[in-house]
C-alpha cells in the first residue's frame, strides 16, 4: 500500500536576499516583498518534500502538498510537484492574510486536511523563515490528535509505523510512532533534490486544487485571533568595529592577539 503523505509548505520571501533589500512597512507592520526577487518555497518545507519523496522512492507514496496564503507565485509553488509530489492544494483567500497568527493558519490547514480525508503521515518543515514561529506543525498535530515527532533528520515508514532520527543537542534519538503521525524535519535531512526536466513537464500539466473560505468548514470562534502584532521594526546594530590593521594579514593577526590580551579576553 502506498503511504498517503501530506506535506505542508509555505511560500516565503527569499531569505537569501541581500540584507540591503530587506524593507519593512512599519505602518502596515509587514515586510515589503523585494521587487525583482521572486518568493521561494520555505527551505525547511523543501526538506519535508525530500523526506516524503524518499519514502515514495522506497515503497511508494501519494504526496499531497498543502499551502495557505493570499496570493501564490504558481511557478514557485509548483516546485514540489516538479520534484515529484503528486497533488497541490492551495488555500487561497484574501481572508487568509493573517500569517502572523499560527492558530489561524492551523485552523485553515486542519480543515483542509479533514476535507481531504486525512493522511497516514504529515511531514512539515521545522519552521518558516519569515515569522520563525515554529508552531503550525505542532498545532496541526495537537488539533488532529496525532502523534508528533519533531526535528527529524531521517524519516522511514515500516510496518505501519514511522521511525525518525530526531536531532538532540548531543547527537540524535531514534523515535517511533504508530501511524497516523506528524513529523517535522530540519536541514540536517540533507539537500532537497533538484526537479528533473520530466518532473517540470509533468508539473506544468498539473493544476492545483484551489479552495477559498467557502470551501472550508470554518467557524468564527476558531478564527478569533490569538496573537496581536503591535509593532515591527528593524533592530539597530550599534557595535563599532575596531579594524585591526598591520603590514600584512599575518601582522594584523599578531596585533589582534595582542589586543585581545590587552583587553583581557585571552
Partner 1 sequence: MADATGILVFGEAPQGELSSTAQELLAAGRTLADSLGQELAIGLIGADLAGAPQQAIAHGADRAYAVTNPSLGEYHPDLYLAAMQTLASEANPNIILIARNNEGRELAPRLAFRMGVGLAQDCLEVSADASTGKLLANRPVYGGSAVAVVSCNQTPQIAAIRPKTYEPLGADAGRSGQVVNFPVEIDPSAAKTRVVDVVKEEAEGIKLEDARIVVSGGRGLGGPEPFAQLEELANLLGGAVGASRAAVDSGWVPANYQVGLTGKTITPDLYITVAISGASQHMAGCSGSKAIVAINRDADANIFKDARYGVVGDWEKVIPALTETVRELTQS
Range 37-96, binding partner 1 (CB under 8 A): none
Q: Which of 79, 77, 61, 166 is nearest to 122 (CA)?
A: 61
* Cα–Cα dist 161/120, whole Å: 9
Which range of residues in 54-62, 66-74, 199-207, 228-236 is near partner 1 by CB under 8 A? 228-236
Distance CA 97, CA 28 (A): 12
* From candidates 60, 173, 196, 201, binder to partner 1 by CB under 8 A: 173
Question: Which is nearer to partner 1, 115 or 255 (by Cβ)?
Answer: 255
Nearer to partner 1, 17 or 200 (CB): 17
203 vs 215: CA distance, rounded Å: 24
| 100 near partner 1 (CB under 8 A) | yes
* Residues between 240 and 259 that touch partner 1 (CB under 8 A): 240-244, 248-254, 256-259
Q: Is 170 in the site for partner 1 (CB under 8 A)?
A: yes
Is residue 159 involved in binding partner 1 (CB under 8 A)?
Answer: no
For position 260 contacting partner 1 by CB under 8 A, the verdict is yes
Closest to partner 1 by CB, 62 vs 222, is: 222
162, 183 in Cβ contact below 8 A?
Answer: yes
Distance between CA atoms of residues 201 and 114, nearest Å: 30
CA 162 – CA 58 distance, rounded (Å): 13
**Is 32 a residue that touches partner 1 (CB under 8 A)?**
no
Element (H, E) at 158: strand 147-158
Is 198 an interacting residue with respect to partner 1 (CB under 8 A)?
no
What does the DSSP assignment read for 15-73? Answer: TTS-GGG-EEETTTTEEEPPTTS--EE-HHHHHHHHHHHHHHHHH-EEEEEEEEES---
205 or 228: CB nearest partner 1: 228
Report in angstroms how near the CB of residue 176 gets to partner 1 at its nearest.
5
Strands 181-185 and 147-158: parallel
Residue 99 CB, shortest distance to partner 1, in Å, is: 11
Can residue 232 be called a binding residue for partner 1 (CB under 8 A)?
yes
Per CB under 8 A, does 24 bind partner 1? yes
Amino acid at each position: 500500500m502506498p503511504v498517503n503523505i501530506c506535506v505542508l509548505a509555505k511560500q516565503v520571501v527569499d531569505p537569501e536576499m541581500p540584507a540591503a533589500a530587506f524593507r519593512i512597512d512599519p505602518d502596515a507592520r509587514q515586510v515589503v516583498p523585494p521587487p525583482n526577487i521572486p518568493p521561494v518555497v520555505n527551505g525547511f518545507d523543501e526538506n519535508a518534500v525530500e523526506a516524503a519523496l524518499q519514502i515514495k522512492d522506497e515503497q511508494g507514496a501519494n504526496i499531497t502538498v498543502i499551502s495557505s496564503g493570499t496570493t501564490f507565485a504558481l511557478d514557485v509553488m509548483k516546485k514540489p510537484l516538479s520534484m515529484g509530489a503528486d497533488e497541490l492544494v492551495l488555500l487561497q483567500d484574501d481572508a487568509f492574510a493573517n500569517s502572523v497568527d499560527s492558530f489561524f493558519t492551523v485552523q485553515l490547514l486542519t480543515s483542509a486536511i479533514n476535507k481531504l480525508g486525512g493522511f497516514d503521515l504529515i511531514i512539515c518543515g521545522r519552521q518558516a523563515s519569515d515569522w520563525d514561529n515554529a508552531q503550525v506543525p505542532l498545532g496541526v498535530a495537537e488539533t488532529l490528535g496525532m502523534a508528533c515527532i519533531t526535528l527529524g533528520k531521517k524519516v522511514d515508514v515500516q510496518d505501519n509505523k514511522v521511525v525518525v532520527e530526531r536531532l538532540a543537542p548531543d547527537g540524535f534519538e531514534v523515535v517511533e510512532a504508530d501511524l497516523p503521525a506528524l513529523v517535522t524535519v530540519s536541514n540536517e535531512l540533507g539537500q532537497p533534490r533538484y526537479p528533473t526536466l520530466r518532473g517540470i513537464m509533468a508539473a506544468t500539466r498539473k493544476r492545483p486544487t484551489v479552495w477559498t473560505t467557502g470551501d472550508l468548514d470554518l467557524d468564527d470562534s476558531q478564527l478569533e485571533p490569538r496573537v496581536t502584532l503591535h509593532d515591527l521594526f528593524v533592530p539597530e546594530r550599534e557595535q563599532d568595529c575596531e579594524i585591526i590593521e598591520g603590514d600584512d594579514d599575518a601582522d594584523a593577526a599578531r596585533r589582534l592577539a595582542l589586543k585581545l590580551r590587552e583587553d583581557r579576553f585571552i
